[in-house]
């Protein structure tokens, strides 16, 4: 089980020598991790220079478990004693973001400090990484841990009777040193392999790891393991007595049978630590960060734990999605979803011509997309994917605060859907965040209808629920934003509402649950009267249909640059607002009419076309 915390700490000690340590990374006195006043260092980068590109290569997946075992072998052989110390792995490099926060890693029971090796490159791009190393022969007391590992502690009386100079070669003991070998061996496997090739690669990977595992067991003596277990036991007692006083923001990543619900260590910590989030990773071993498919940086980002100041700023602290994250999300996790939706994206050029693709959308911001919110927001994933693939641009969605709540039971799972919203740029809807996004020339997505549109009732498909007030027009004019009205249709081809809010509020059990859940989210348009202000959070019951197709159309850009009359006159602002609303309604009507002309609206015909021309072929649609 791993714990990520934002407690402010400082590195100390000296760095050990060897190829896996950055020389001269520390002084003996305490230093700030972001100190750049070393001789020969370049000037401090400007804010724009330190921003990572969208879909940048974070280096994740380039390292295998053989690299880990090789690193452990070198470090333990070259370790000539001395006290525990912090070091910075060479692979981490120098952070590429301004004011990169400090990440401190405390090792597992082996004490080497290289268990994050699969993540060194990705973490090093955005963190100042420091790992703690405990020499094999060191016996310095150290009070810091979270679990006493009860199952392993039960072996302590037996281990104390074993000769102290024997190597740790017993399989159950080795498992605590190296974790799950199958999951670790799969780190280097590629998803494109056939089942037979995958089996062969897995076999080869396991075979190549055996000499390293045996060597690691030979290096770690019984006396060292006994000392480590006693240290773990005393450290757990020390930490448990002080959990109530922890004020820091904490993220617990729980895996392994001892840590999972209902009586796992993670639940105990969740109840003991005040400001705590939990993510459970079932069907994984104790060494979660050393297993295939687990990206620590992705989890930190998704849980909104990455920040560079005392408080997280959802705009300034956002890290763009990496190439690896894009591939995992859209080519693996949501692959079937996008195949079923088969979205068509159309845009409008300045001369009014409608074209296939996004060429009618500006290449640079600030741009504000204002549109209709489909049922359950089924359009968002396709929208984000389309802009990342064609424009290499992330759309920052102005989202409801519920997507950033951390302590609900439904969120305590492996990378929930809510985490994906944060990973791909969503920020809580507020005037302050909108101001910051426009100031940074971002692409911003807004749904004036909000929750009322996304959770509409039966018979309300494609009906706009916009408030009377032009909430965003004046700010858009102030920054010279390009506003693009857009529409999307297709929800009625995918989902049918069985129980809506009007039904659920008449069922006592559901009504009480909806009321309790919404008590934590007061203030969302509470001053807006009528249905436009009815932003009640609930989950309508729906049934899937035989999939049709999803259609987007981005209307003709509305340039707000130079519209001083909007800034000074409320009536002018309202006229622009009504114009945008009318454009969205026109776009939706156009798509509803034109989709009837699409020969590939049926999923059967689309699958046949892809079978003929290949899965990567763009399926045709109606003529705009």
Q: For position 549, which CATH number holds?
A: 3.40.1130
Residue 392 backbone zone (phi > 0: left; psi -120 to 50: alpha; other: beta): left
21 shares its domain with 106: yes
Q: Is residue 80 part of a domain?
A: yes
110 shares its domain with 200: yes
Q: What is the mean pLDDT of residues 504-524?
A: 83
Tokens 């195949």, located at residue: 339
280 shares its domain with 340: no
Q: Which residues pair with 483 in a beta bridge?
A: 368, 558
Q: Is residue 622 part of a domain?
A: no
Q: What is the mean pLDDT of residues 532-537?
A: 74
Q: Is residue 66 part of a domain?
A: yes
365 shares its domain with 266: no
174 shares its domain with 79: yes
Q: Which one is predicted more confidently, 181 or 71?
A: 71
d(CA 10, CA 273): 22
235 shares its domain with 122: yes
Q: 302, 319, 352 — which closes off a domain?
A: 302
Tell me, what CATH number does 44's domain have?
3.40.50
User: What's the domain range around 462?
Assistant: 336-496+544-613
pLDDT number for residue 238: 75
Q: Is residue 438 part of a domain?
A: yes
Q: Is residue 538 part of a domain?
A: no
217 shares its domain with 353: no
Give the max Cα distance, the chain.
88
pTM of the predicted protein model:
0.82
Would you tell me how many other CB atoms lie within 10 Å of the CB of residue 234? 15
pLDDT number for residue 129: 96
HSE-CB for 408 with a 13 A CA cutoff: 15
- Lowest-pLDDT range, 55-59, 287-291, 494-498? 287-291
Q: Is residue 294 part of a domain?
A: yes
44 shares its domain with 160: yes
352 shares its domain with 279: no
Q: Above 90 in pLDDT, residue 79?
A: no
Q: Is residue 189 part of a domain?
A: yes
Q: 250, 284, 302 — which closes off a domain?
A: 302
Q: 285, 302, 319 — which closes off a domain?
A: 302
- Give yes or no for a contact between 553 and 487, defined as CB atoms under 8 angstroms apart: yes
Q: How many domains does the chain fold into? A: 2
**396: nearest Cα among 486, 315, 326:** 315
- Give yes or no for a contact between 226 and 242, defined as CB atoms under 8 angstroms apart: no
Q: Is residue 518 part of a domain?
A: no
Q: Which one is predicted more confidently, 390 or 156?
A: 390
pLDDT number for residue 30: 29
Q: Above 60 in pLDDT, residue 7?
A: no
């Amino acid at each position: 089980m791993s714990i990520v915390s934002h407690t402010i700490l400082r590195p100390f000690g000296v760095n050990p020598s060897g190829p896996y340590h950055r020389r001269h990374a520390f002084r003996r006195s305490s230093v700030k991790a972001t100190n750049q006043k070393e001789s020969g260092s370049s000037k401090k980068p400007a804010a724009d220079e330190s921003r990572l590109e969208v879909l940048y290569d974070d280096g994740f997946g380039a390292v295998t478990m053989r690299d880990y075992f090789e690193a452990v072998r070198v470090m333990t052989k070259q370790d000539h004693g001395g006290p525990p110390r912090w070091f910075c792995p060479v692979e981490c490099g120098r952070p590429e973001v301004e004011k990169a926060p400090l990440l401190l890693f405390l090792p597992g029971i082996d004490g080497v400090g290289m268990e994050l090796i699969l993540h060194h490159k990705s973490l090093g791009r955005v963190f100042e990484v420091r790992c703690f190393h405990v020499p094999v022969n060191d016996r310095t007391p150290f009070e810091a841990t979270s679990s006493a590992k009860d199952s392993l502690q039960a072996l302590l009386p037996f281990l104390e009777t074993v000769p102290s100079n024997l190597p740790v070669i017993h399989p159950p003991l080795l498992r605590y040193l190296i974790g799950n070998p199958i999951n670790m061996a799969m780190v280097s496997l590629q998803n494109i392999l056939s089942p037979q090739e995958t089996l062969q690669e897995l076999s080869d990977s396991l075979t190549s790891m055996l000499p390293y595992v045996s060597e690691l067991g030979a290096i770690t003596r019984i006396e060292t393991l006994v000392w480590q277990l006693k240290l773990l036991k005393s450290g757990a007692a020390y930490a448990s007595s002080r959990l109530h006083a922890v004020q820091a923001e904490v993220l617990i990543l729980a895996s392994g049978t001892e840590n999972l619900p209902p009586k796992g260590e993670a639940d105990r910590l969740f109840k003991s630590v005040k400001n705590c989030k939990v993510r459970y990773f079932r069907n994984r071993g104790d060494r979660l960060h050393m297993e295939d498919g687990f990206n620590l940086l992705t989890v930190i980002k998704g849980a909104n734990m990455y920040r560079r100041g005392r408080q997280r700023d959802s705009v300034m602290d956002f890290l763009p999605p990496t190439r690896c994250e894009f591939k995992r999300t859209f080519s693996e996790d949501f692959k079937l979803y996008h195949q079923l939706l088969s979205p068509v994206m159309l845009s409008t050029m300045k001369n009014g011509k409608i074209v296939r693709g996004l060429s009618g959308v500006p290449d640079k911001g600030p741009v504000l997309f204002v549109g209709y919110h489909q049922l359950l927001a089924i359009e968002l994933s396709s929208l984000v994917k389309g802009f990342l693939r064609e424009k290499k641009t992330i759309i920052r969605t102005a989202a409801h605060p519920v997507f950033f709540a951390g302590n609900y039971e439904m969120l305590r799972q492996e990378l929930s859907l809510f985490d994906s919203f944060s990973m791909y740029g969503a920020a809580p809807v507020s005037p302050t965040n909108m101001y910051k996004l426009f100031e940074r020339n971002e692409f911003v997505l807004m749904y004036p209808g909000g929750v009322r549109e996304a959770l509409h009732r039966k018979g309300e498909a494609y009906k706009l629920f916009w408030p009377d007030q032009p909430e965003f027009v004046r700010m858009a004019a102030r920054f010279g934003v390009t506003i693009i009205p857009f529409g999307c249709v297709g929800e009625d081809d995918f989902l049918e509402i069985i129980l809506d809010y009007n039904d659920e509020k008449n069922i006592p059990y559901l009504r009480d649950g909806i009321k309790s859940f919404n008590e934590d989210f007061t203030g969302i348009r509470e001053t807006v009267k009528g249905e436009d202000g009815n932003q009640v959070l609930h989950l309508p019951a729906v049934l899937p249909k035989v999939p049709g197709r999803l259609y987007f159309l981005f209307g003709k850009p509305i340039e707000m640059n130079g519209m001083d009359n909007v800034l000074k006159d409320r009536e002018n602002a309202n006229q622009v607002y009504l114009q945008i609303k009318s454009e969205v309604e026109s776009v939706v009507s156009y798509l509803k009419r034109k989709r009837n002309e699409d020969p590939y609206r049926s999923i059967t015909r689309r699958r046949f076309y892809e079978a003929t021309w290949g899965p990567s072929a763009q399926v045709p649609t109606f003529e705009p």
